[in-house]
Amino acid sequence: MASLTSSPPVQLPLIDVSPLLQGSPSESLSACVSSIDAACREFGFFLIENHGVDPTLQQRMHELSLQFFALPEEVKAEIKMDVGGSAWRGWFPVGGELTSGLPDQKEGLYFGAELPATDPRVAAKVPLHGPNLFPASPPQLKEVVNEWFGEMRRLGKALLRGVALGLKMPEDYFEQNIAADPTCLFRIFHYPPSKSASEWGVGEHTDYGLITLLAQDSCGGLQVKLPHHDVGWLSVPALPGVLVINLGDMLDRLTEGRYRSTPHRVKNASGRDRLSFPFFVDPSWDAVVKAMPLEGAPPSDDASRRWDGKSVHAWEGTYGTYLTAKVSKCFPELFTEVQENKDGPKQSMY
Ligand code: OGA
Ligand code: NI
């Protein structure tokens, strides 16, 4: 029997972000900023609409990606990740990534900022830096990925301005500090239909950086474990034209837990092939990530509840070291060189 006192089901907020893109202060901007702040505090996850990204661009990327994933394994393997090594670009097969220690039931294409071999960081073999590996077929995928990359970087910067304002900081706080040259990563994932209840498309994890902008198709399957609601795993709706935004560990670290990086996972139970397109906007590679000077006392640490049992607040260092340590756990064979290089920065917490 429904009780009059029962609370409504928890739902992720859907935020109209157009005021953030117009660039002039307005009443609707302050309403938008307070919705973002409330969503970051309460959920670490929210949905956005009116973000200005052409819906046909995602459609084209979806179709071209399906064409690529349908190619024979040996053709896809022409750009397999081993080709770029620790530059971390190209294709990996189903089971090739271990997000939470077990093989994920997904295959994917990894992209990052396009850097030529002559770039000093590429020449010095700094992990995660290098040229992209684009497939020869379908040839149009390169152009569409580059366009999406630019759109997401633009939107990610606008969202970070909103996050800064929500924290009562100057709107260019991130641009002026730790995200002056943001580390941007983009992935295209294909999740085949799930075959077993015990296998995950992506195991439980939090994202590593500042914010993630995820486009997904209509299959659904993304689940989140909300930090302040005891409702188990909540399914994130898959709505046309809507992007999912979630916070990464560095925003949790910067805000000393006022904003949490929320654990999430994926199971594709739709019976269809699922595609998703996560774009990560992260601190600059060399940025030292420390707590921001924010008002009020932060909440207590949540290490014991975190998926990896590690406190993100006890950690100190540059974002590059954090990311390399995380990524080398997911792709151990690509990073043997990095792990063996003991002269590099210390990664003791891992
Ligand atoms: C990720 C992630 C979700 C998805 O890449 O970190 O959580 O739907 N992806 O692919
Ligand atoms: Ni994630």
Evaluated on CA atoms 203, 149, 332, 326, the torsion sign reads: negative
Given pLDDT bands bounded at 50, 70 and 90, which one contains residue 305? Answer: low
Higher per-residue pLDDT: 101 or 119: 119
Q: Take residue 178 and report the two structure tokens written for it.
A: 């730790």
Which ligand 1 atom minimizes the distance to the CA of 278?
A: 5
Residue range 252-274, pLDDT digits in tens:
999 999 999 999 999 999 999 99
CA–CA separation, 230 vs 213, rounded Å?
25
Q: Which helix (H) or strand (E) holds 246?
A: strand 243-247
Amino acid in the structure at residue 84? G
Residues with CB under 5 A from ligand 2 (ion): 207
Phi-psi map region of 317: left, alpha, beta (phi>0 left; psi -120 to 50 alpha)? left
Name the residue at shortest CA distance from atom 4 of ligand 1.
Answer: 276
Instruction: Decide: 207 in ligand 1 pocket, CB within 6 A.
Output: yes
pLDDT at 240: 96
Q: What are phi and psi of 275, to 5 degrees?
A: -115, 140
Q: Which of 92, 212, 245, 265 to mutate to test the pocket of ligand 1 (most atoms within 8 A of CB)?
A: 212
Rounded Cα gap, residues 137 and 135, in angstroms = 5
Mean pLDDT of the residues in the chain: 90
Which of 133, 141, 138 is closest to 112 using CA atoms? 133
Predicted pLDDT at 331: 81
In this structure, the residue with its CA closest to atom 1 of ligand 1 is 278
Q: Please choose from 185, 266, 274 the residue to mutate so as to test ligand 1's pocket, defined by most ligand atoms within 8 A of CB.
A: 266
Ligand nearest to the CA of residue 236, numbered in listed order: 1
Ligand 1 pocket test: which of 222, 239, 268, 274 has the largest number of ligand atoms within 8 Å of its C-beta?
222
The string of pLDDT tens digits covering residues 190-205 is 999 998 888 899 999 9
CA dihedral 238, 240, 241, 244 (to 10 degrees): 0
What CA–CA distance (Å, rounded) separates 231 from 332? Answer: 34
Spatial contact of 167 and 295, defined as CB atoms under 8 Å apart: no
Atom in ligand 1 nearest the alpha carbon of residue 264: 7
Please tell me whether residue 150 adopts helix, strand or coil conformation: helix
Mean pLDDT across the stretch 160-181? 97
The SS3 assignment for 228 reads coil
**Residue nearest ligand 1's atom 9 by CA:** 278
Question: What number of residues does the chain have?
Answer: 350
Q: Which residues contact 212 (CB under 8 A, 6 or more apart)?
A: 244, 245, 246, 247, 248, 278, 279, 280, 281
Question: Average of pLDDT values for 209-222?
Answer: 98
Name the band, by pLDDT with cuts 50, 70 and 90, for residue 342: very low
pLDDT greater than 80 at residue 128:
yes
